Structure 1
Amino acid sequence: MEDPFSNLPDEILSCIVSFLPLETSLISTRWRDLWNQALVRHGSTQDDVASVVAGFLSRFEELDPLKHPRKLHFHFSDQDTALFASIATNKHLEKLVIVECTGLQSLFIESESKLHELTILDCPQLKSLHLRTSKLKSFRLDGPLPTIWPESHFNLSHAMLNFRLGPSCADFKAQYFNQTLLTIKNCEALTLCEWTFQELIWPSISPSGNFIFYKIRELWWIHNHRGENSMDTLVSFLKLCPALEQLFVTNDSTSYSAPRSNSYCLTQETEYSTKLEHLKRIKFMGFTNRVDEISVAKKLIELVKGEPPKIETSDESCLNVVIVQ
């Protein structure tokens, strides 16, 4: 049956949908497109950025996104200018996504109300991130590691810290990461790079001897496989995750690696003898050599107590647990 609404202009469709329950938009793919429209703006100065972002956030309607788009595409004409942005979010804003902001070096986000999800992707020059918020539950940051200052404490349930490009500055110190470490301690799902644990987390927790990630059930681990001992860091981290159920291991040969002087074997220094009693699945990604996958799997299986997990390879097949053991 032909959809009588598909050929109507967006303006008319918006008027129609605004009088109907939100679920009605699921009737037609054409209607669903209305909910994903973006507001496009252009500018050439930092004042333009501030003005557009402030205006965009101030016009949010809590229950009617059709009156004002939920997405903003801002095109900054001067790519050589360093940007410093400050965003005070609207009281109704629950999710904020910032993508592809070339030139953005410093970002301040303030929200003491409903901001629960924050995503920052492809901002390669970001060096400073200041967060004044206490309600965040999901935080995704993909790019070089900036200096992160969480002004208020919050407990994340999901965190993606994809810093495979390394730190944003050469003199980044472990203590700069301490406040961020506390926000991820109670995570249920975590993405972490090998070097981040080696250089930033381990130096901060090793003297205390009582830091455990009790709630992590899903771990996405990014590392640069370099031979027989390259998984020692992961083994050490897994000993801190007694509730882990799913493990995803990505091999990225381009990922930043800790300097050799810092890449000491952590396995022998880890005092915990935690066994993984709940691990159900291990998934490898990015490996090009089956021998490497088997070698890594053998090390991981040694940590498992009880029934061995399902082990999936990079080519979507499964490893025979008998061979691995």
Structure 2
Amino acid sequence: MEEEQLIDECSRSDITKLPDDILASILSIHPLDSGSKSVALFTGLWNRTCIKYGVQIQDFESVIGDFLVKFDENNPLKIPRKLEYHFNRGLIVTASIGLNNKLNLDFSKGNQDFPRQFGWEIVLNTMDFPQSSPYLFSVKTLKLTSVNYLTCELVSNLINKFRYVESLIVEKCDGLRSLRVEGLAKLTNLSVRDCFDLKSVFVESFELKFLRYRGVLCWFWFKNVMYLEDVMLDFEGPGFNHLNHRLYDPLLRAIRDVKVLTLHGWMYKEVFGPWLFSKEHEQHFRFSKLEDLWWIDSCMEDHNINCLFCFLKFCPSIKRLFITIDPRSCLKPSAADPQSSNKVQKGRLRKLKVVKLEGLNNEEDIMLFKERLMEVFGAEPRIVDVRQGMHARCLIRIPKRQAIGKPTGSDKLKFCYKFVEEVFGNRGLCSKHPHMA
């Protein structure tokens, strides 16, 4: 009640003028009753970013360490907080920490005039913690944004103090040419996004299950990676003038046992296709555990569909197929592509239950796709059409007598169809794939 009376006696403008350390003391001493919560609401203490200037770059580890140490003791409301440090040389880091041990370090606001290329080695969850160090932190999710050659060593030294990092996100690091990530224990999720100078990625992790990559095609190498379940390879284009599909043997073998896979159509045409259809692999290699395939392509022309069907030949256990037509995926198939014009060999997809098509505006193309599936694989899954601003619709086959006077397609079609609103079993079918975010 005393806090409530204090608030009644003071105007909001007076409260907001109080220094942060005094406000923090008020909320840390008193129990979190309505008065304490009102103080936090009026002042915005836990929502605003605290900014500190004139910090020396060599003090990076200690200032971030202090921020992490004081998060719990000075944050009785358990609300995420942000702290912005302005270092010398124009460097700025925004540190934000949230619940469940999530830490973001973002250098994008500061001076970006450091174009030098660099290699970066990140070692996580090492057991060789220096016992004398005052900073030993449990960070489960670590996001690193816009790290450059000047700050990568500082960040690496800080990361050596972290324990139990389960999820690592590296993004928008200009100049990053090679990345090496070693997380022998606990690391289960790795995301590398929008590092457009990247040429090679090395990953060593016994427990890695989720791999997300978005950017130009680069070279991959894996060690002790045995349990990948969900992989997104959102390659926006080749990072090399001349592609050698043999260099991607480690990548293809690493994703062999995945359950969920995201792949661009051009990546299959240019890299995986030649490898899979070589004599030494065609008869033996299969994605035997793959259940969900997210296929991204620029259009649904015949050669694109042929390439998709050629890939499906290696996916006998697939249950759900998600096709996204993305104009950004604009790389055209090469003239030498052996799968772009040849007739696709027939096969069986006994477990395929649903196909979601997103971004395809021509209804006749959807009907033709359904008939091609029946012809090539003997499969007739539920076809769901998803478009922006419309409810999901299901394509069903109808008797010809019911199609009189209805636009069911051209003479190319063998059957008659109509679209009905999809009301059952479409949970998750209307959500966008992470690559579209």
Which bracket does the TM-score occupy, shorter chain normalised? 0.7 to 0.9
Partner of 1:70: 103
Q: Is this contact kept in 2: 1:119–1:140, CA < 8 A? A: yes
Matches within 5 A, 1:199-278: 199-206=270-277, 207=279, 208=281, 209-225=283-299, 227-265=301-339, 273-278=346-351
Gap change, CA 1:319 and 1:44, over 3 Å in 2? farther
Partner of 1:197: 268
Q: Is this contact kept in 2: 1:198–1:258, CA < 8 A? A: no
1:258, distance to aligned residue in structure 2 (A) = 4.9
Give, as a single letter, the amino acid of the residue that structure 1 aligns with 2:105: L
Q: Is this contact kept in 2: 1:159–1:190, CA < 8 A? A: yes
Q: Secondary structure at the match of 1:260?
A: coil
CA–CA separation in structure 1 for the residues paired with 2:182 and 2:107: 20
1:256, distance to aligned residue in structure 2 (A) = 4.2
Gap change, CA 1:97 and 1:287, over 3 Å in 2? same
The farther-off stretch of 261-270 and 85-94 is: 261-270
Q: Secondary structure at the match of 2:248?
A: helix
Partner of 1:60: none
Residue correspondences, number: 294
Structure 2, gaps ≥5 residues long: 1-32, 47-66, 127-163, 399-407, 416-437
Q: Please, which of 170, 178, 199 is the counterpart of residue 249 of structure 2?
A: 178
Matches within 5 A, 1:95-244: 95-163=167-235, 165-206=236-277, 207=279, 208=281, 209-225=283-299, 227-244=301-318
Gap change, CA 1:244 and 1:43, over 3 Å in 2? farther
CA–CA separation in structure 1 for the residues paired with 2:84 and 2:366: 46
Task: Kindly indicate whether residue 123 of structure 2 is the aligned counterpart of residue 88 of structure 1.
Answer: yes
CA–CA separation in structure 2 for the residues paired with 1:106 and 1:155: 23
Q: Secondary structure at the match of 1:123?
A: coil
Q: Which has the higher contact order (CA 8 A, sep 6+)?
A: 1
TM-score norm. by structure 2 comes to 0.59
Question: What is the alpha-carbon root mean square deviation over aligned residues?
Answer: 3.4
Task: Kindly indicate whether residue 37 of structure 2 is the aligned counterpart of residue 5 of structure 1.
Answer: yes
Give, as a single letter, the amino acid of the residue that structure 1 aligns with 2:353: K
TM-score norm. by structure 1 comes to 0.77
Partner of 1:26: none
CA–CA separation in structure 1 for the residues paired with 2:86 and 2:176: 16
CA–CA separation in structure 1 for the residues paired with 2:308 and 2:88: 45
| Greater gyration radius | 2
Q: Please, which of 388, 395, 415 is the counterpart of residue 319 of structure 1?
A: 395
The farther-off stretch of 288-297 and 109-118 is: 288-297
1:245, distance to aligned residue in structure 2 (A) = 1.0
Deviation sequence 1:75-116 (CA, Å, 0-9, x none): 362253323221111341111011222332221111211111
1:2, distance to aligned residue in structure 2 (A) = 6.5
Deviation sequence 1:275-322 (CA, Å, 0-9, x none): 11111211111223222222223222334546x322111322222234
Deviation sequence 1:99-147 (CA, Å, 0-9, x none): 2223322211112111111011122221211212232111000111111
1:187, distance to aligned residue in structure 2 (A) = 0.5
Gap change, CA 1:309 and 1:256, over 3 Å in 2? same
